[in-house]
Amino acid sequence: MARVLVGVTGGIAAYKACELVRLLVRAGHEVIPLVTPGAERFVRAETFNALARRNPETSLYPHLERVDLYVISPLTANTLAKLAHGLADNLVTEAALAHDGPLLVAPATNTRMWRHPATQANLELIVARGVKVVGPSEGDLAEGGQGLGRMAEPEEIFARCQALLGPSNSLLQGRRVVVTAGATREPIDAVRFVGNRSSGRMGVALAEEARRRGAEVTLIGSNLAVAPPGGVPVVHASTAADLRRETLALGDADVVVMAAAVGDYRPSEPRGDKRPKDGEVWRIDLQPNDDVLSALGRQSANGRILVGFAAETGEDGLARARTKRTGKNADLVVYNDVARKDIGFESPDNEVVLISEAGERKVEKAPKARIAAEIFDEVERLMETDGGRASG
Ligand SMILES: Cc1cc2nc3c(=O)[nH]c(=O)nc-3n(C[C@H](O)[C@H](O)[C@H](O)COP(=O)(O)O)c2cc1C
């Protein structure tokens, strides 16, 4: 996960920067949008902040944040000229002067503006200074007609961003990672079940992050309410027993992350048919399910890193999460308070405490993609401190 500044300047293509921000956020990056007054005529800064899940008051000096990459998309002929000559009269140009890392620009102008010798000279100046340029391409222009000057598509700009951020030097590169996600369902009869509200978002974000870091990921999905990440094989496991069987079968992975909300209880005597509706009270006995995390913790693991989630409520939740880690022999437990409406189950955000033998670290409320990155940062720290325990 990286920190990326996205500068937006005043062309019609500003709307395409929304998609770029979305792609960067989805990939787990922290995005800081900067918008010129010219761009605000097309898309409001609030839109970019909302897409970046960023509180506009986060920093008084967003243009001075240290970032891994600065991308300006679209880049107008006007801002190109300012970059070439070192002007700093708005957030986008101030940030460009303050930034000493990679800068990627995606110009968008009308064909005559693009071909103008002043624009071309400015372009040469910034390229000579190491600025990377993506596009423009030939195609339909906003003012009508065809020509050179159309901004590169967001997917292409995103791919260049990823390339500039460098290949993953993650310890997870080539490692086998298993992530469980979603909510198990325990049948009551042929159509009814006992379940829970977990959507699978957190687990899907974790699978996506592990894949981004170069791991060979398998996602064990229980009734996912969200789409699994592309390119990640999914093993479907509906009940707690299914999930237990599938997870134990893959328990020799280098990292196992148990993000699924596995039912603790199941109906003792599920009916094979659908119970017809009548006026009677229906009492259902629930019996405890075998604990999957404990079973994994007991497996001989040859250096595997085991991560559990503690979805708790109430004041004692954190204490229970600590006990869970030691009691179940997990390397890391991710505690989150599922009583809160703004995080956890069914929410795009989470706020967690990472509990390991080395100590505890709170991760403030953030999109689940970012939480996933923090969790794998911690996993990598554990792999490192264990001298590459997971090298088996
Ligand atoms: C409807 C409209 C569309 C524009 N599209 C572009 C464009 O695609 N590229 C460009 O360089 N300038 C474009 N301009 C001109 C810029 O908005 C203008 O140069 C402005 O000063 C740019 O400010 P900024 O670079 O600080 O955002 C457009 C202007 C208007 C009114």
Distance 76 CA to ligand 1 centre (A): 6
In this structure, are 369 and 240 located in the same domain? yes
pLDDT, position 340? 80
Q: Tens digits of per-residue pLDDT, 243-287?
A: 999 999 998 999 999 999 999 999 999 999 999 999 999 999 999
Instruction: Verify whether ligand 1 is closer than 6 Å to residue 9 (CB atom).
Output: yes
Q: What is the mean pLDDT of the chain?
A: 91
In this structure, are 142 and 222 located in the same domain? no
Instruction: Verify whether ligand 1 is closer than 6 Å to residue 356 (CB atom).
Output: no
Ranking 71-80, 162-171, 174-183, 306-315 by mean pLDDT, the lowest is 162-171
Catalytic residues: 196
pLDDT, position 58? 63
Say which residue, 167 or 229, is predicted with more confidence: 229
In this structure, are 332 and 189 located in the same domain? yes
Give phi and psi for 189, each to the nearest 5: -145, -160
Domain-embedded: residue 169: no
Q: What percent of the chain has pLDDT over 90?
A: 71
Instruction: Verify whether ligand 1 is closer than 6 Å to residue 196 (CB atom).
Output: no
DSSP code for 287? E
Q: Tens digits of per-residue pLDDT, 200-255?
A: 999 999 998 898 788 999 999 999 999 887 778 999 999 999 999 999 999 899 99
Q: Tens digits of per-residue pLDDT, 294-345?
A: 999 998 777 899 999 998 887 898 999 999 999 999 999 999 987 887 877 7
End residue of a domain, out of 164, 194, 217: 164
Domain that holds residue 69: 3-164
Ligand 1 atom having least distance to the Cα of 39:
27
In this structure, are 191 and 103 located in the same domain? no
**Cα–Cα nearest to 142, from 49, 11, 237, 28:** 11
Cβ atoms within 10 Å, residue 2 = 18
Domain-embedded: residue 257: yes
Whether the pLDDT of residue 187 is over 90: the answer is yes
In this structure, are 83 and 182 located in the same domain? no
End residue of a domain, out of 164, 185, 205: 164
Q: Are 184 and 243 in contact (CB under 8 A)?
A: yes
Distances (CA, A) of 297 to 217, 260, 293, 305: 20, 16, 6, 10
In this structure, are 106 and 200 located in the same domain? no
Which segments of the chain does DSSP mark as H helices, in order?
Answer: 14-26, 37-40, 45-51, 77-85, 91-98, 111-115, 117-128, 154-164, 201-212, 240-249, 292-298, 317-327, 368-385
Ligand 1 atom having least distance to the Cα of 113:
11
Domain-embedded: residue 37: yes
In this structure, are 236 and 382 located in the same domain? yes
pLDDT, position 57? 59
* Ligand 1, atom 1, residue with closest C-alpha: 12
Instruction: Verify whether ligand 1 is closer than 6 Å to residue 39 (CB atom).
Output: yes
In this structure, are 65 and 37 located in the same domain? yes
Instruction: Verify whether ligand 1 is closer than 6 Å to residue 113 (CB atom).
Output: yes
* Ligand 1, atom 23, residue with closest C-alpha: 38
End residue of a domain, out of 141, 164, 187: 164
332 burial level (CB within 10 Å; 0-12, 13-18, 19+): buried
Separation between Cα atoms, residue 201 and residue 225, nearest integer Å? 8
Separation between Cα atoms, residue 242 and residue 237, nearest integer Å? 5
The amino acid sitting at 133 is V
Whether the pLDDT of residue 388 is over 60: the answer is no
Under the banding of pLDDT at 50, 70 and 90, the label for residue 167 is low
For residue 141, what is the domain's CATH number?
3.40.50.1950
Distance 147 CA to ligand 1 centre (A): 17
DSSP 148-202: EEEPPPHHHHHHHHHHHT-S---TTTT-EEEEEEEB--EESSSS-EE-----SHH
Q: Of 19-33, 117-131, 225-239, give the range with the top mean pLDDT.
A: 117-131
Under the banding of pLDDT at 50, 70 and 90, the label for residue 349 is confident
Distance of CA 391 to the CA centre of its chain: 26
Ligand 1 atom having least distance to the Cα of 93:
26
Separation between Cα atoms, residue 261 and residue 86, nearest integer Å? 53
Whether the pLDDT of residue 390 is over 50: the answer is no
Under the banding of pLDDT at 50, 70 and 90, the label for residue 146 is confident
- pTM here is 0.61
Q: Tens digits of per-residue pLDDT, 36-56?
A: 999 999 999 999 999 998 876
Q: Are 72 and 102 in contact (CB under 8 A)?
A: no
For residue 345, what is the domain's CATH number?
3.40.50.10300
Distance 72 CA to ligand 1 centre (A): 14
Instruction: Verify whether ligand 1 is closer than 6 Å to residue 10 (CB atom).
Output: yes
User: Mean of the pLDDT values across residues 87-112?
Assistant: 95
